[in-house]
Amino acid sequence: MPDFTDALKPRYDGAATLQAERDGSPIDVDELAKHLLSRDGFLQRQDRVVRVLQKEKLFKKDQTLNLSRPERYHVGLARAKAVQRIMRREGWTTGEDYKMFEYLVDEVSPYHLHLTMFLTTVREQASEEQKKYWMPKILNWDIIGCYAQSELGHGSNVRGLETLAKWIPEKQEFEIHSPTLTASKWWNGSMGRTATHAIVVAQLLLPKKGSKSEYESHGPQPFIVQIRDSKTHQPFEGIVVGDIGPKYGYASMDNGYMLFDHYRVPKSAMLSRYAEVSDETGAISRKGHPAVVYGSLTYVRGQIIMHARLVLARAVTVAVRYTAVRRQFRDRDSKNEAEDEMKVLDYPTVQIRILPLLATTFALHYTGEMMYDLYSKSREAIEKDNFGPLAELHSASSGLKSLCTMLAADGIETCRRAMGGHGFGGGSGLVGVNADYLSKPTVEGDNWMITQQVAAHLIKKMASCVSNPNAPPKDPTDTLFQFYLKNHAHHIPQNVVRADQISDQAIVEAFQWRAADLSYRAYQARVVDKKPWTKLMIQLHSLSRAYSEHILVTTFYNYFQTTSTNLSSPTPAVLRTCFRLYALFTLDTFSSSFTLTNSVAAESIPVLQDAILNLMVELRPHAVKLVDAWSIPDFLLQSALGRYDGRVYEELYDMAHRRNPLNKVTFNPDWRCEEIVLGSEDRGEAVLAKL
């Protein structure tokens, strides 16, 4: 209903403010956007899909935060089904089209695990005969799959899984069984209410040699198991399965639990590309690298690394645009009483929280591109039975998954806090993305646990280089470690900043030297001094982070040196500023480890903060255009604060006054009366029905 507020305008014009910001920077946004997002036709696909979704009422998002958790799953499943119908209607059949739908719909679909972990596991670990049978059903969505590995009692420790798969030779079957409550599969996405089939990872039990009654475990092995009837969608006898309930985020996803009671599956259920059980003897024969069983996890970790840039860019886009529009206080040193209040983004105390994160989005981008190339090349080699790159791929994906998800998750929250009170509201657009992304530092390998795998790999590499320092290097890590061993006795620490001059090459070398030196210290502690692993865990976590940060810095430097030269001025120079800001901010944050390892000259440390302030001054005029280049549509942002047009306050008020369903109901606040909604005489029965 119209009222007097319809004619009111904000004191400051947000649209004009953002336009002035854009006019103040000569960066070519379209050119930079294509530089960042041209692979696989991302930008064109995004425009095409957004136009379709905006016309579909089912994909309206403005009431999402007002829905209950069961309602979110209902809507999520309805949208997942609708996406399949729309794709067929529009003739969009590629996996990239489907990924774009998931990205823009911005909720974890109940179908999500089907085309990620389920499909990937079958594609990479099934035999040719198994793939011939299962892949058409998967790609045609005749079945819906999930990946059941984590359990109530074990997540990160895959070798400790309690679910058993016992070989029954006389029946040529496996008996899958949950011997304990903690053997219950737990947290597995799409399993609670949606999936018809599951990849079940269980301990493979085979008869001991020479015995028919005694069994021994041969480690975790994946099995493809139908868990629900194709017509009734009810679980089969011997299977208990359901949804685990509310979580911090992922409201639309049915994360599940599942237990088995001596449930029989045929021999063909065991994925047998790399392992097979003999019909005659019950013996297992393996080929390839033992770590290939975790190939799906490596793939998903790679996807998480590549997605981190877009998630952080979304939060930074909201924060930059809003703080460029928001004004608070006049300059304390100003003598002009008529002067406007300052833009919040002009305060160094706000810049130091947001602008390094803006630089981080580009560091994550180039690392994601590197990870994409590394995974593709490694998979090509593995498909040819060359398992040499697997260890390096596993180590890089583990360390980078830990670092990148932490940077993104912490960065979202930093952006929220930097926006003050309005950052806490639903109009920020960060409520859902913050809650959902909180899972990423934990899922697919806890961030503190998987760093031990990275450290173990680095210690092994360093030990190899120490014992054979002149061997031909197999990868960049060998090259770095061999260089370190030859030069550490006479190494001179780097001056990364001297007389206001920043040396990019010195920055890269400092990060590389720190990674190598910490690896050598870990090697000394573990291999030479024989220190207990548990007592080294914190040191090893720091090593993994340092090693991963050196990858980010080196990759960022190499990419902008080679690829940004095709960009028009001033974009290459601005990207260089982003590189320096990310690197020096990280160096300043962990300055003690750089001085401890003799990576940076002591005189460089005190001048870092002034250098960072100067870099933020350089970057500030381009901030709005830099986030524009990430091309995140308002349909995805769903943010009053981060709207492209800058109409922040108009949208916040409209959301509260005109579109808030709570304001459409008149309540009875009198405690003497049990009625909740005025005039309903419901005596609170509607409330009780929900409890």
476-487 vs 504-523: helix crossing angle, rounded to 10? 80
Adjacent-strand bridge partners of 215:
207
473 DSSP assignment: P
Strands 239-243 and 185-188: unpaired
Which residues have a Cβ under 8 Å from the Cβ of 80 and sit 6 or more positions away? Answer: 109, 110, 111
Q: Look at residues 482, 490, 491, 487 and name the one whose alpha carbon lies nearest to residue 463.
A: 482
Query: The tokens of 539 are what?
Result: 């040191």
Residue where the block lists tokens 């005189």: 603
The pair phi, psi for residue 668, each rounded to 5°, is -110, 105
Amino acid present at 424: F
User: Catalytic site residue 444?
Assistant: yes
In 420-546, where do the E strands start and end?
497-498, 501-502
Quick one: how far is CA 529 from the chain centroid? 37
Q: Is 189 labelled a binding residue?
A: yes
Residue where the block lists tokens 């899909």: 49
Q: Look at residues 566, 557, 575 and name the one whose alpha carbon lies nearest to residue 34.
A: 566
Catalytic residue chosen out of the listed positions 102, 124, 444, 509: 444
Reported as type and span, the H/E element at residue 563 is none
Reported as type and span, the H/E element at residue 188 is strand 185-188
Query: The tokens of 405 are what?
Result: 């998800």
The secondary structure of 612-670, three-state, reads HHHHHHHHHHHHHHHHHCCCCCHHHHCCCCCCCCCCHHHHHHHHHHCCCHHHHCCECCC
Distance of alpha carbon 543 from alpha carbon 423, whole angstroms: 34
Between the two ends of the chain, the Cα-to-Cα distance in Å is 34
- Note whether 276 and 205 are within 8 A (CB): no
Distance of alpha carbon 238 from alpha carbon 414, whole angstroms: 47
What is the CB neighbour count within 10 angstroms for residue 435? 15
101 DSSP assignment: H
Q: Look at residues 571, 467, 475 and name the one whose alpha carbon lies nearest to residue 527.
A: 467
Sign for the CA dihedral angle at 526, 531, 534, 539 comes to: negative
Cis peptide before 2 (omega within 30 of 0): no
Between the CA atoms of 545, 550, 556 and 557, what dihedral angle is there, to the nearest 10 degrees? 160
- Note whether 507 and 496 are within 8 A (CB): yes
Residue where the block lists tokens 């939060």: 315
Query: The tokens of 428 are what?
Result: 């920020």
State the maximum Cα–Cα separation within the chain, in Å, rounded to a whole number: 94
What is the CB neighbour count within 10 angstroms for residue 344? 22
Query: The tokens of 90 are what?
Result: 């529009």
Which residues have a Cβ under 8 Å from the Cβ of 492 and sit 6 or more positions away? Answer: none
SS3 of 46, please? helix
Distance of alpha carbon 12 from alpha carbon 340, whole angstroms: 9
Residue where the block lists tokens 């962990």: 590
Annotated binding site for FAD: 189
Among all residues, which ones are annotated catalytic?
Answer: 444
- Residues annotated within the binding site are 189
